[in-house]
Amino acid sequence: MLPAEVRKTDDQAHAARTMWNLLHAWWRMMPKEKRTLGHADAAIRQAREDIGFLAVLPAQAAQAVLKTYFQAWKNCWDGRAGAPDFKGRLRTVMSVDVPQGRDLNITRVHRRWGMASIPKVGRARFRWTKDLPVGKHAGADNRITGARLVKDALGWHIAFRVQSLQGKPGPHQGPEAGIDVGVTVPIALSDGETYEHGEWLTGKDKTKLLNLEQRAARRKQHRKPGEPTSRRLHHTYDQIAGLRAKAKRRAPDWQHQTTTVIARTYGTAVVEALSITNMVKSARGTIEEPGKNVAQKSGLNRSISGEAWGRTVTMPAYKTAQHGGTLYKVPAPNTSRRCSACGFTTPGSRQSQAVFVCKNPDCGWSGNADHNAARNVLHLYRMGHALIPAAGRAVVRRAKCVKPATAR
């Protein structure tokens, strides 16, 4: 995007966030019998007339904010999420929704580039990374229904919503595989296959990041207390954020590629039902009862969060279904401490992150600890211990959400 287009899109994103906050404030003030979609629609129409800067947001985008807000409450009442809250300026991802695909007018101008019309912004160029149903390839069963603009440290990105008619895939005839996620080995399978990755930043990127951080520290030292941040320091901060955003994007890209290979290869995938939120809790404790090995636990928590185990487990769910396979979950306790050869669980068998030695005198099997855990995961599935989540049993540990009797 050109600088003028970036400023216009930024204004729309700020207006969309303000619209959400106004809706949430209106919801908290109104009585339960008036918390309806019709009353909310009238409220945002009045707000767009009274508050001038909200007019930069297209009417369709404002309606999308309204629908998203009511859907957030519906997810809360169904137990799938916590209660909606106000969106802060710094902690909220800037985004704008284009709910109608006909407003985009997408054309392909080059093998790598395309053009799209953004309402109240103009024609913007985007990188053509995947085939889109435009022109003669578009139809009633294969069309673009909308798009969403999202901003990160690298700039604005556009994601298109595509509606396509796909046939139901036949049953996947591939083998079964147990999947174990870890820190040293990100993904290990029960058949001995492993999927690993290197550092998200190359050596050149790391050197550049270190130099930028040192430059920012030097420039910050020369700033007097209360003095605004200089333009040079802001530029250095932007460069640092850009490098970190590059590393952040490489992680899900590797996960997408890896889970796609797994979904294509195996007909049945089995993973552990991990409670990651409890696994990354701090060991700091309290003043009366201080925790032990706090620094080591903190490092482990960072490693678990960096590997994004939750995303690694959820991605194969829809990918296996697209290829005719199935994903199952099994209980996680003792999968890393049980010997897959003899079936005994003895203390101290897992000697490290990579080595497992069975302490059973009649067994003594030794091997890779991650492969051992993956085989145990597959064994639990074959023994009939797969978990089938019942509808409405999701546990929400965030803000309490109570559905009003008169809400619609």
Note the pLDDT of residue 23: 92
Among candidate residues 277, 331, 328, 283, the one with its CA nearest the CA of residue 304: 277
Q: What percent of the chain is predicted at pLDDT more than 70? A: 92
Note the pLDDT of residue 235: 92
* Cβ atoms of 178 and 378 closer than 8 Å: yes
Mean pLDDT of 279-296: 70
| Mean pLDDT of the chain, nearest integer | 85
Q: Bridge partners of 256?
A: none
Distances (CA, A) of 383 to 41, 343, 346, 379: 54, 12, 20, 6
Separation of alpha carbons 43 and 62, rounded Å: 11
Note the pLDDT of residue 398: 43
Query: What tokens appear for 390 in the block?
Result: 């019942």
DSSP type of residue 124: E
3-state secondary structure of 222: coil
Cα-based angle 256, 259, 260 (whole degrees, multiple of 5) = 80
What is the Cβ-side half-sphere exposure of residue 68, based on CA atoms within 13 angstroms?
A: 18
Query: What tokens appear for 60 in the block?
Result: 């369709």
- Among the residue ranges 108-117, 293-302, 388-397, the one predicted with the least confidence is 388-397
Note the pLDDT of residue 117: 93
Q: Angle at which helices 231-265 and 203-221 pack, to 10 degrees?
A: 150
Separation of alpha carbons 401 and 277, rounded Å: 20
pLDDT in tens, 155-177: 899 999 998 887 788 888 889 89
| Residues in contact with 333: Cβ distance below 8 Å, sequence separation at least 6, in sequence order | none
All domains of the chain, ordered by start, with CATH?
A: 1-165 (no CATH), 168-200+252-408 (3.30.420)
Note the pLDDT of residue 74: 92
Split at pLDDT 50, 70, 90, the class of 391 is very low
Looking at the predicted structure, is the pLDDT value of residue 280 above 60?
Answer: yes
Separation of alpha carbons 177 and 327, rounded Å: 10
pLDDT in tens, 301-345: 787 777 888 888 888 888 998 889 888 988 888 888 888 888 888
Looking at the predicted structure, is the pLDDT value of residue 287 above 80?
Answer: no
Parallel, antiparallel or unpaired: strands 95-98 and 176-181: unpaired
pLDDT in tens, 69-125: 999 999 999 888 889 999 998 889 999 999 988 889 999 888 899 999 999 999 999
Separation of alpha carbons 402 and 399, rounded Å: 10
- Among the residue ranges 15-19, 45-49, 84-88, the one predicted with the least confidence is 45-49
pLDDT in tens, 234-249: 999 999 999 999 988 8
**Beta strands of 250-387 (E only): which ranges?**
268-272, 326-330, 355-357, 366-368
pTM of the model: 0.79
127 or 298: which carries more pLDDT confidence? Answer: 127
| Residues in contact with 226: Cβ distance below 8 Å, sequence separation at least 6, in sequence order | none
Q: What share of the chain is helix, strand, coil (3-state, %, to 5)?
A: 45, 20, 40
Sign of CA dihedral 235, 240, 245, 250: positive
Looking at the predicted structure, is the pLDDT value of residue 260 above 80?
Answer: yes
Separation of alpha carbons 360 and 349, rounded Å: 9
* Cβ atoms of 249 and 262 closer than 8 Å: no
Alpha-carbon dihedral angle through residues 151, 154, 155, 157, given to the nearest 10 degrees: -60
At which residue do the structure tokens 């194969």 appear? 316
Note the pLDDT of residue 289: 65
Note the pLDDT of residue 288: 65
Q: What percent of the chain is predicted at pLDDT more than 90? A: 31
Split at pLDDT 50, 70, 90, the class of 217 is very high
Looking at the predicted structure, is the pLDDT value of residue 397 above 70?
Answer: no
365 or 316: which carries more pLDDT confidence? Answer: 316
**Taking the mean position of all CA atoms in its chain, how far away is CA 83?**
19
Q: Give the strands of the sheet with 122-127, arranged side by side.
A: 107-108, 113-118, 122-127
* Dihedral class, residue 308 (left if φ above 0, else alpha if ψ from -120 to 50, else beta): left
